[in-house]
Structure 1
Amino acid sequence: HPHLPPSLPASSSLVIMAGTVMLAYYFEYTDTFTVHVQGFFCYDTAYTKPYLGPEDRSAVPPVLLYAVVAGLPTLLITITETVLFLVQYTSKEFDRSEKTLATGDCCYLNPLVRRTFRFLGVYTFGLFTVDIFVNAGQVVTGNLAPYFLTVCKPNYTALGCQQALRYISHQEACTGNQDDILRARKTFPSKEAALSVYAALYLAMYVTCTVQAKGTRLAKPVLSLGLICLAFLTGLNRVAEYRNHWSDVIAGFIIGTAIATFLVVCVVHNFKGKLLLNEESLAEQQTNTAMLNTSRVESPLEKCNEVTVFFTVTAVMNA
């Protein structure tokens, strides 16, 4: 359709998605990118909070968070798109316009499948993008967790920490478990806060923009605020368990909010797809047809010229 924004070819989208997934994999599961070793002051109380155990013992474990972030949007978007499709499928306007918009020379693409895959694909791309931004920030900064010195277990006597203001910058200062130490160096920004607020904000904007049924004027804000509240509680839990600083959580919220807003506004255009543009497309098509018909009407000058030529030819023949 000439009035709809052009989209990237399917092959380009798959290449971009594959590259994003691979980059996220290298950040997450390989040591390709070395974490910056940030130093610390002896006896710094900002890093002596108790260590409450691995992430699996958290009130919001990674398995639960990733399951909700991946499963809830998929379920909600699929159900909503199915309901919207069934409601509009029964209308006559849908039958006329959707065939015109979606039928090509060789095939017909179901609008339900097209819209659902579009919104879920963009959401999935955003998840991996958030993960890349967060991992990049953690690797570059190497910010220390509140429990860093608890798992680091430095030998203060050997380090010469008779003075609390002594700054320790070498990696061999720690004697604790290396996995716990590495995890304690990757806290800024908070991945849990970024992923939770991204999922909550994307779903909140999706529900607000797509659901236009009567009686949802209050239900949509309640659902949106509930999702955002869950994301805020996730960040609050990270601080309460001494796994992140407030600055880590706030930075994660900013990253998740920025990416979700950008994708919704600039990529999916506030979820306004072909399924929701039927009446506007029909009006535009009728306007274009009327303009073409108007341009084909002969002007009085052209009629006058034809009459003049006719009489001239007749006079020559009589002569």
Structure 2
Amino acid sequence: MEVECRKERSKLPTFVGSSGTGLGSGLVTGPGSIVPGKRPLRGPKKILGRILLDLCMLSCVGLPMLGFSLWGEPFKRGFFCNDTSLKHPYKHSTIRSWMLYLMCGALPVVLIILVEFFRGQDKRLHGTYKSQKTRTGSGYHLCHLELPYWLLECYRKIGVFIFGLGVEQLTANIAKYAIGRLRPHFFTLCQPVLWDGSNCSHPMNAGRYIEEFTCGAADMNAKRIKDMSLSFPSGHASFAFYAMLYTAIYLQRRMHWPRLRMVQHFVQFLLLTFAWYTALTRISDYKHHCSDVLAGAGIGITYAIIVTSTMW
């Protein structure tokens, strides 16, 4: 009779707070109960606390960036009237901002969610985890249900990605506002007028270093004037190289399906090619100088390597 009772108990589902082997392993009085051999489950308060802590960390990066955008004034750099590197025509960006956000923001998040979900469903990978990662539960419960471990991994990987992205962009913005380098289309867009009312067409201004000037173009506004002095380094290049390299390294370390190896490498190739193409268009569109793009790419690559160095 006792054997039959044990069999019936083993068929019952596992609830939050149980040891994961059925009710026969011990009764549970409620969520968060301590079961021998398993860490206690953490409830909504723990989840909320962790999210708030992560948001505080992100705000340490996001608030300075917002401050730069709203109130920051770049260093006012002068120019020489015969500087041909500032006389390129104005062109619209080949890679628009919305394209960059879609490819370098939304796409990595979608890929991370897909990979982690299928890793969670692949039982062959469970045995390859470290001992503390062999479970399918995350140790967090919400509405009396334990969250799956793959969801926790999504939160971790996406959180690291977003934090690294914020640090990378903040680093680029600090350089932009501290240096204030003029963009290659400066003369075309600004049409500078000197303090004495003359312009660069006057022979007396040839070879002079001009620091006091205003923009004479009719369609100029404060936003455009500010943007003209934010050439170094390239924000597009740093954003693209960070996001694409992070995603490529992530796929290399987390996508462990031999049959999809060529697919994985093809996706990595497309990601890095997009970053390379984005950097090249910033030069061909006369938005940045070559050194601006190289510096931006270097910043993005550096932070991508740093934040993925401890990824397993």
- For the superposition of Structure 1 and Structure 2, which TM-score range results when normalised by the shorter chain? 0.7 to 0.9
1:165 is paired with a residue of what secondary structure? coil
Q: Given the alignment of the two structures, is residue 88 of structure 1 paired with residue 129 of structure 2, yes or no? A: no
Is the contact made by 2:136 and 2:148 (CA closer than 8 Å) also made in structure 1? no
Is the contact made by 2:73 and 2:226 (CA closer than 8 Å) also made in structure 1? no
**Which amino acid letter does the alignment assign opposite residue 169 of structure 1?**
E
Higher helix fraction (1 or 2):
1
- What's 1:12 paired with? 53
Structure 1 154/217 Cα, relative in aligned 2: closer, same or farther at 3 Å? same
Superposed, which structure 2 residues align to 1:75-224 within 5 Å? Answer: 75-88=110-123, 98-99=134-135, 102-103=138-139, 108-155=146-193, 158=198, 161-170=203-212, 172-176=213-217, 177-178=220-221, 179-224=223-268
Higher strand fraction (1 or 2):
2
* Cα distance, 1:92 vs structure 2: 7.9
* Cα distance, 1:218 vs structure 2: 3.2
* Cα distance, 1:130 vs structure 2: 1.9
**Which amino acid letter does the alignment assign opposite residue 167 of structure 1?**
Y
**Which amino acid letter does the alignment assign opposite residue 306 of structure 2?**
F
- Give ranges in structure 2 of 5+ residues lacking alignment: 1-37, 40-48
2:198 is paired with a residue of what secondary structure? helix
Q: Given the alignment of the two structures, is residue 44 of structure 1 paired with residue 88 of structure 2, yes or no? A: no
What CA distance in whole angstroms lies between the structure 1 residues aligned with 2:274 and 2:121? 31
Is the contact made by 1:24 and 1:132 (CA closer than 8 Å) also made in structure 2? yes
Is the contact made by 1:148 and 1:181 (CA closer than 8 Å) also made in structure 2? no
1:158 is paired with a residue of what secondary structure? coil
- What's 2:5 paired with? none
Structure 1 97/143 Cα, relative in aligned 2: closer, same or farther at 3 Å? closer
- Give ranges in structure 1 of 5+ residues lacking alignment: 3-8, 273-319
1:227 aligns with one of 234, 258, 271: 271
Alignment length (residue pairs)? 255
Structure 1 168/219 Cα, relative in aligned 2: closer, same or farther at 3 Å? same
1:155 is paired with a residue of what secondary structure? strand
Q: Given the alignment of the two structures, is residue 245 of structure 1 paired with residue 289 of structure 2, yes or no? A: yes
1:151 is paired with a residue of what secondary structure? helix
TM-score, structure 2 length as denominator? 0.73
Structure 1 44/201 Cα, relative in aligned 2: closer, same or farther at 3 Å? same
Structure 1 166/121 Cα, relative in aligned 2: closer, same or farther at 3 Å? same
What CA distance in whole angstroms lies between the structure 1 residues aligned with 2:260 and 2:170? 36
- What's 1:276 paired with? none
- What's 1:302 paired with? none
**Which amino acid letter does the alignment assign opposite residue 50 of structure 1?**
P
2:102 aligns with one of 64, 67, 76: 67
Could you tell me the percent identity over the aligned residues?
Answer: 26
Superposed CA deviations along residues 253-299 of structure 1, whole A, max 9, x for unmatched, are: 0011111111111xxx22x2xxxxxxxxxxxxxxxxxxxxxxxxxxx
* Cα distance, 1:91 vs structure 2: 6.1
Q: Given the alignment of the two structures, is residue 257 of structure 1 paired with residue 311 of structure 2, yes or no? A: no
* Cα distance, 1:173 vs structure 2: 3.8
Structure 1 37/66 Cα, relative in aligned 2: closer, same or farther at 3 Å? same
Structure 1 104/135 Cα, relative in aligned 2: closer, same or farther at 3 Å? closer
What CA distance in whole angstroms lies between the structure 2 residues aligned with 1:158 and 1:75? 55
Is the contact made by 1:42 and 1:161 (CA closer than 8 Å) also made in structure 2? no
Structure 1 187/104 Cα, relative in aligned 2: closer, same or farther at 3 Å? closer
1:251 is paired with a residue of what secondary structure? helix
**Which amino acid letter does the alignment assign opposite residue 17 of structure 1?**
L
